[in-house]
């Protein structure tokens, strides 16, 4: 599988055709808008970590599955620290039959942060046999954080398998209690839980200090 950074491979019109197996990492600046088009049999792995690009971060991303048997596996981690504003607007668009897309977005919202996630699955009438899934999990770690999730579906063909799910919540008190009962102080327990939450995405991303920093550092930022 080829490996690339969007800042290096994205053309000026913001549309990138993904021809074969490709692992893309979004390392664009704070505000960016682009479209990834998957051709026939293309397999795109996509990873994005949002949170270090600035105070206000915004992404508008379209994943267009234009080729049959194309496949997308996308992972996005959003870490909104104190008073940060992060907005994600994504579309998984299936235009042809038998394509497959999976998108997982996890966010962690700190004090005064605002995270807004809108993600839509669109299945065109010709895209029979499509399989599209979107999952969104949001961890709120401050009473002053604000999270808005809008998972949307627009299905225009019936022979498809589609689902979406979104959840917003704080850390599980039972898990915190478990760690504290084993002698781990409350801040460290919270950090462990945050790191565990982010782990599912972090393990998809190559360990690259410039892009994401080591996992320990991410989890200890709050």
Partner 1 sequence: MRGDPPMDEEFATPGNFSYATEYAHDAGRGVREETVRYISKVKGEPRWLLNFRLRALQIFETMPIPPWIPVDLTPLQFDQIRCYLAKNQESKRRWEDVPAEVKATFDRLGIPENERKFLAGVEAQFDSEVAYSNLRRSFAEKGVIFVDSTEGLLQYESVFRQHFGKVVPAADNKFSALNSAVFSGGSFIYIPKGTKLDQPLQAYFRINAEQFGQFERTLIVVDEDAEVTYLEGCTAPRFESSTLHAAVVELVVMPRAKVQYITVQNWSSNVYNLVTKRGIAHESAEIRWIDCNIGSRLTMKYPCVVLAGTHARGEMVSISVAHHGQYQDTGAKMIHRTSHTTSHVTAKSISIGDGIAAYRGFTQAMKGAKNCKNYTRCDALMIHPESVSKTSPTLDVRGDLSRVQHEATVSRVSDEQLFYLRQRGLGEDQAMGLLVNGFLNELLREFPMEYGVELKRLIEMEMEQR
- Indicate whether 180 belongs to the interface with partner 1 (CB under 8 A): no
* First CA to last CA distance, the chain: 34
Interface with partner 1 includes 164 (CB under 8 A)?
Answer: yes
Answer for which of 55, 56, 150, 217 binds partner 1 (CB under 8 A) is 150
- State the burial class of residue 217 (Cβ atoms within 10 Å of its Cβ: 0-12, 13-18, 19+): exposed
141 or 219: whose CB is closer to partner 1? 141
Instruction: Provide CB contacts within 8 A for 186, sequence distance 6+.
Output: 176, 180
Q: Which of 81, 128, 131, 211 binds partner 1 (CB under 8 A)?
A: 128
The least CB distance from residue 141 to partner 1, in Å, is 6
Rounded CA-CA distance 120/164 in Å is 9
Q: Rule CB under 8 A: say whether 102 interacts with partner 1.
A: no
User: Which residues have CB under 8 Å from 96's CB, separation 6+?
Assistant: 65, 66, 67, 68, 70, 126, 127
Q: State yes or no: residue 174 binds partner 1 (CB under 8 A).
A: no
Nearer to partner 1, 44 or 162 (CB): 162
Taking the least distance from each CB to partner 1, the nearer of 53 and 130 is 130
The answer to whether 164 and 121 are in contact (CB under 8 A) is yes
**Does 30 contact partner 1 by CB under 8 A?**
no
């Amino acid at each position: 599988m080829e490996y690339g950074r969007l800042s290096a491979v994205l053309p000026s019109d913001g549309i990138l055709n993904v021809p074969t197996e490709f692992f893309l990492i979004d390392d664009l600046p704070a505000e960016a808008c682009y479209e990834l088009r998957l051709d026939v049999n293309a397999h795109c792995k996509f990873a994005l970590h949002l949170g270090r690009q600035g105070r206000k971060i915004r992404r508008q991303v379209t994943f267009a599955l234009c080729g049959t048997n194309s496949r997308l596996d996308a992972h996005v981690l959003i870490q909104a620290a104190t008073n940060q504003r992060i907005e994600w607007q994504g579309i998984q668009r299936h235009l042809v039959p038998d394509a497959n897309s999976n998108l997982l977005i996890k966010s962690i919202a700190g004090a005064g942060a605002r995270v807004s996630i809108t993600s839509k699955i669109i299945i065109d009438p010709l895209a029979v046999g499509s399989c599209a899934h979107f999952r969104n999990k949001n961890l709120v770690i401050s009473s002053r954080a604000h999270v808005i999730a809008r998972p949307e579906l627009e299905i225009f063909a019936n022979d498809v398998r589609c689902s979406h799910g979104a959840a917003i919540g704080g850390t599980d008190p039972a898990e915190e209690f478990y760690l504290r009962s084993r002698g781990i102080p409350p801040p460290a327990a919270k950090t462990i839980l945050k790191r565990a939450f982010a782990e599912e995405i972090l393990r998809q991303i190559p360990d690259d200090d410039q892009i994401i920093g080591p996992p320990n550092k991410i989890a200890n930022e709050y």
